[in-house]
Structures are given as C-alpha cells and as structure tokens.
Structure 1
C-alpha cells in the first residue's frame, strides 16, 4: 500500500520514525502548505515532495492519504481526499464539530472508502495484553476505571525551543488554543471504548485554570486546560477521565474489577508496565513491608509500589523503532492496520462508527461548558 502525508509538522516525524516498523507500507511523498517546512522535512527524510495538494490527490499510486494537518484543517483535507477516491487516516480529532465528523463518515461510506482515526496507542502491545487479561477473566467483571491524560505544566517549560527530528517546532501556541482535551483525551478514549464498549452518557466539566501561559501567549484565545468526565458505558462500567496541562504528568489507567485490578503505567508506552492485583493472590513482599511500616510509623509514606505483580509480555519478535520518551507510540501502526484491513476487504478497527464515537466523546468533554449535562452521545458502534 502506498501512502502520502499531508502535513509535515511536529507529529509527522513520529510517523516517519515508525514507518520502518511496517514494510508493507510504501511512502510516495508528502506535501505541506508551508514550502520551507516541506523542504526541510523532505530533505531530512530524503522523500519526494509534491508541488501542491492536487498533485498528491491525483497521484494514482497513492491508496491512503495520511492527514497530519492542524485539527481545524482535518475536515477540509479529509473531505477532499475522499472525493479524490483515497482512503484516509486522520489525526485526532476527525473534525472540530460533530456535524462535520458525521458528514465525513457518511462521505467515506458513500464512496466505499475507509476513514480511520488516530491515535494508534489503542493498537499497542500494552492494549493487547490488557485486552487478553480481561477476556481471560483473571480479575472478574470490571466495574470502575480511572484514566488520566495529564501532560504536566508544559507552559512553564522551554517549549518554544522544542524541535522534532527534522526541525519542526512544537506547536505550543496551537496546543493551548485547541486545548488539552481535544489533543489528548483520545489516547485514553481509544482504550476505554475498545475495552468496555460504547458510552451511554457522560457528565463532564472543563475550565481554563491557568489563563496566563507565559511570555508570547497573551494574544491567543485559550481553550480549557483542564477537563474531567464521568462516563457511563452500556456494559455497566463507570469511568473517570481527567485531562490537563497543570497537574504532574500522569498517563495511567486503572481497572477495578470484582476479583482484583489492573494498572497500566503509561498509555503512551507501546509496552508499558502493567500490574495485576488478584484478590486471592498473596501480596508482593515489598508492598506488605511498606504497609507494616506505615502502621508502625503512624503516617503514610510518600511512595508505594504499584499494587500487584507485573504482567509479562510475550516475546517480541523484533525490536521496533519508537519515538523517544514520552511519545513511545508506534504512530504508523494505525495506518498499517488500515492497509491490512483494506487488503482483507474489512473495516479497520478505528474507523467508521468507532472513530465517530471517539470524536464525539472528545468534543463533548472539551466543550462541556456549552453542553447540557449529562450528555448522551448520538453515535454508537
């Protein structure tokens, strides 16, 4: 399958870093409206650059257009690519408005094409291990889930100096304008809905808690930098999801079930540490000793190990190229999954109704201040 990239900003280098993991994909070239950025990207990676978007869309060899543009451009670029007869893999969210996302899904269906969405961490080795463990019922029926997408106070760091491998600046101002929820909630939602099914209702709150993001940011309109949502799944599971740009970095997920719990340390890590705590199993020695120490000292200790024992991964057949910490995600895995599904004549996992549901939930969390609560999604899968 030949693919082409539209957009060569910061995230595009993550996709290029992981392209080699998927030899069935072949990159035809890239295009960006910023000619200087396109030149820097294509020169660094030694790939062809299209002279304009039309040239990319009319290239008969391209099967999938990978839309890596800014969120407010997703709708237009994706719609044009579908109209040109191309399958599309789109960075999150599918669109900035639910009606636009619905229109894109309908357009893809009418054209007999697939429209899949990021993030690819829902296809990670860690997700598969958790999915297999839950399916084996080792901890019984899940009841409650805590998920966090806290990025830490990045606005207090030297973000203006951050660059990707090919020299693209980290789009800090744009991140503050779009908001932490639309940018990051999808990383948790992709896990939640594939593990526990569609959401029946959610109650959310969002706020701009730090309007002053430092020098050079006063001229932009800030989006909420904190959100929390309580999600009720049709399966009966209840989840709490927080997203933010102020609290300490935390990208964990905890599943509390009838017979124990699972803890995923980092949803941005393809093979994150995962601990299982089974009610009937003996507690690890260190945990027991620290509990006794707390009782003897009469106060809580500042650190305790993750409850339970670490789950082993199956042997990895070959090492994968992944971006450096903290974004240790196989970004191109979603595109590869889409290509494989197309070859089989099937729908990719993160496409169609599922992609729309994730988008609607992220929009509802981000726009909580403007929506009636509880919010009942009109999408499902």
Structure 2
C-alpha cells in the first residue's frame, strides 16, 4: 500500500479520484487546497481527510507521493517544497513555467534520490501499448511521419462557465484561456510521440492568439496562445507535426505513416481508442471503397469522414475499472500507480527524470512559438 496526498482540489482532481478507484494499492492520506471552501466541498464529496495546512500535508510522515494538481504557475514552488520535505512528486503538466525551473526540479530530485513524474497518463494507455506493438511488429514498416492533433473545438463558444466536476468544482476556463491551450494540451500529444519515437533533436514552433475575446470576463485580460503548431525531428528519424488549438473542430487523432502503411489512433484521450491499420499493398474496407467510387462518380467529396484502414482488435479485454467521463476518457490514476510500483521496485518510471524534463521543454517551446529550437534536454 502506497499512501499519497493531493495538493489541489480543483476540476482535474475529480478525474484523478474517479480513476484511483482502479488502484486499491494506492491510498489517499489527505488533501490540501488553499481555497478552504473548495477543499471542504471536495473532501466531503469523496469522504477524504483535509489537511489543516500545506505544512501539515508535506510533513505527513505516512505519505510517499505528493500529487501536484495546482495551477501550472504553482508547480515549481510546490514541487521544490515537496522534494525538500523528502517526498516523491507526481506533477500535472508542466513541471515549471520555464526550462530553468523544470531543470532545477529534476536536479533536486536526483540529488535527494527522489522521483519526479510528469503527467499526462494517456501515454501509458492501452491504446498506446497497442500502437507501440504494431510498430514493433513492423505492421507499417519503418515509421517515417506522424500527424498529431490536439484540437479541442471552440470551447469558448460553449457554456464553459457552467461546467462543473463531479464534486462541483468550476472548470477554470478564464485561467486556461490566459495560460494558453498549448501548455494545457500539448502534453497529450507529446507523451505519445516521445513514448513511440524517443527524444526530439530539433524542432520549429509557431503559436498565435487568434480569438482575443473569449466571452464574459475575458475581454480585458491578456490571453495566451489558442493555436500552435510544432514540427519535430526525432533522433530516431521520424518527423512529426503537432497542432494544438481551441477553435477548429474537435480532433484528437494521431496518424503514423510508415513506408508500408499507416496507423490511425482515433482519440488520444481515449484509453482504448479504436486503432486502425492499413497497408499500401492491402485492400481497403468495403465502405471506404464504395465511398471512393461514389465520390469519383459524382465528382465531389461526401460530407463524412471515415477513419482510414481497419480497426485492430485489442489483445485482451478491457480491465475492469473506471475512466473519467467523455471527453477525457483517460486513466489519470495509472500514472501514479505506475510510479508507485516503480519506486517499490527501485526502478525509474517511464515519464520521470530527464524524459519528464524533455516533455516540459517541448511544451514550453511550442507554447512560446519560438521558431527553430534545439532541446537542451535529452534522455
């Protein structure tokens, strides 16, 4: 049994609570949030203990891992305080707001012989494991090119001010608009790309604010980028493009093109997303062939979009457990569980250390739209 503590009881904390039910080996010793009413509401809803202060939380000798669910600008200070208190840290993305902050956290963890892991956990999903196995089996030959989409749709045109988590926490829309969608969302694509293709050796980034006024309460604020695109060259030889946005129609797919075919992952936020494979020398599914014939005959495209290729069966049934509700069907708790298991076995979790630093550096570069860059981190 590994005891953990939450710091932060906002919107995303309920995603973690929902999926921690899948891991009885993890026990929440307590929760802390600087907002007393939010903390009380969260603990009452979930039946958890509230710490009286942050010092009480970090000083709890029974806990092993601090789960940092605070806003991004608070990550660095809390990560550092937790490490100095002798705690391992699982941190929501990013590790810090600058590369220097994130580097300091990783260096401190190494000095203290502690582990720092970075979210998101979708890079540990069943869909990622299936995709990795297809690549390893050379189902599409050698991968050459990848397109990752993190378009969340025009959420600022929706009723986002009314969105609430299970325990009643409000979705922090204004804060997310100020921060920019890339720091919030790029990690979901980057975790997949890095887990499949390794470290990035060079890249080019562009970001922009395309919709400055996102509704009530935002017109007088400085908004962060709501669109970004990054082109990444991996040391393994793969080239990828990652797009993040808050305006285009929702698309969270990943397409991988090899020299013998393609893999399409329909939704990177779905733990068991449909995964489709097609080969250049293979026969397309009947519906796709009929659609193509009809379009050629009519001389125009039909108003529908079919996922290319045939869906691949998962090698085993889905594990019994809970996922967060659509659209975030990610097993958020899996990242903490994998981390706790690795610590028990004196191993380094996959998304820890220099790999976690690399993910943060890439997200910061894409968010900043800094043009051509060469990452200073590697693994």
Query: TM-score, with normalisation over the residues of structure 2?
Result: 0.99
Q: CA deviation at 1:280?
A: 2.2
- Paired with 1:297 and 1:123, the residues of 2 have a C-alpha distance of 44
With 328-337 and 296-305 compared, the bigger mean Cα shift is at 296-305
- Aligned residue for 1:176? 177
Residue number among 362, 368, 376 corresponding to 1:378 in the alignment: 376
Contact 1:151-1:247 within 8 A present in 2 as well: yes
- Aligned residue for 1:337? 338
- Aligned residue for 1:99? 100
- Paired with 1:112 and 1:44, the residues of 2 have a C-alpha distance of 36
- After TM superposition, list the pairs within 5 Å mapping 1:141-290 onto structure 2: 141-290=142-291
- Aligned residue for 2:301? 300
Q: CA deviation at 1:285?
A: 0.9
- Aligned residue for 2:358? 357
Q: CA deviation at 1:51?
A: 0.2
- Aligned residue for 1:47? 48
- After TM superposition, list the pairs within 5 Å mapping 1:29-48 onto structure 2: 29-48=30-49
Q: CA deviation at 1:353?
A: 0.5
- Give the CA RMSD over aligned residues: 0.8
- Paired with 1:127 and 1:306, the residues of 2 have a C-alpha distance of 18
Q: CA deviation at 1:135?
A: 0.5
With 309-318 and 163-172 compared, the bigger mean Cα shift is at 309-318
Distance 1:304 1:154, change over 3 A: closer
Contact 1:287-1:304 within 8 A present in 2 as well: no
Give the 3-state SS of the residue equivalent to 1:69 in structure 2.
coil
Is there any run of 5+ residues in structure 2 with no aligned partner, and where?
Answer: none
- Paired with 1:70 and 1:305, the residues of 2 have a C-alpha distance of 38
Q: CA deviation at 1:76?
A: 0.5
Q: CA deviation at 1:318?
A: 3.3
- Paired with 1:64 and 1:211, the residues of 2 have a C-alpha distance of 39
- Aligned residue for 1:83? 84
- Aligned residue for 2:18? 17
Q: CA deviation at 1:304?
A: 3.9
Question: Does residue 1:8 correspond to 2:9, yes or no?
Answer: yes
With 147-156 and 316-325 compared, the bigger mean Cα shift is at 316-325
Q: CA deviation at 1:316?
A: 2.6
Contact 1:206-1:228 within 8 A present in 2 as well: yes
With 116-125 and 275-284 compared, the bigger mean Cα shift is at 275-284
Instruction: Give CA-to-partner distance per residue, 1:132-157, whole Å, 9 cap, x none.
Output: 11001111001110001011111111
- Aligned residue for 1:135? 136
Contact 1:149-1:250 within 8 A present in 2 as well: yes
- Paired with 1:264 and 1:74, the residues of 2 have a C-alpha distance of 31
Give the 3-state SS of the residue equivalent to 1:300 in structure 2.
coil
- Paired with 1:343 and 1:266, the residues of 2 have a C-alpha distance of 32
- Paired with 2:296 and 2:152, the residues of 1 have a C-alpha distance of 34
Give the 3-state SS of the residue equivalent to 1:256 in structure 2.
strand
Question: Does residue 1:314 correspond to 2:315, yes or no?
Answer: yes
Q: CA deviation at 1:317?
A: 5.7
With 205-214 and 300-309 compared, the bigger mean Cα shift is at 300-309
Give the 3-state SS of the residue equivalent to 1:332 in structure 2.
helix
Give the 3-state SS of the residue equivalent to 2:149 in structure 1.
strand
Instruction: Give CA-to-partner distance per residue, 1:186-207, whole Å, 9 cap, x none.
Output: 0000000110111111111100
With 314-323 and 4-13 compared, the bigger mean Cα shift is at 314-323
- Aligned residue for 2:61? 60
- Paired with 1:13 and 1:204, the residues of 2 have a C-alpha distance of 33
- Paired with 2:52 and 2:189, the residues of 1 have a C-alpha distance of 37
- Paired with 2:175 and 2:377, the residues of 1 have a C-alpha distance of 28
Instruction: Give CA-to-partner distance per residue, 1:202-242, whole Å, 9 cap, x none.
Output: 11110000001112112321001000111111111111110
With 300-309 and 324-333 compared, the bigger mean Cα shift is at 300-309
Q: Size of the alignment, in residue pairs?
A: 378
Instruction: Give CA-to-partner distance per residue, 1:118-177, whole Å, 9 cap, x none.
Output: 000000000000001100111100111000101111111110110000010000000001
Q: CA deviation at 1:315?
A: 2.5
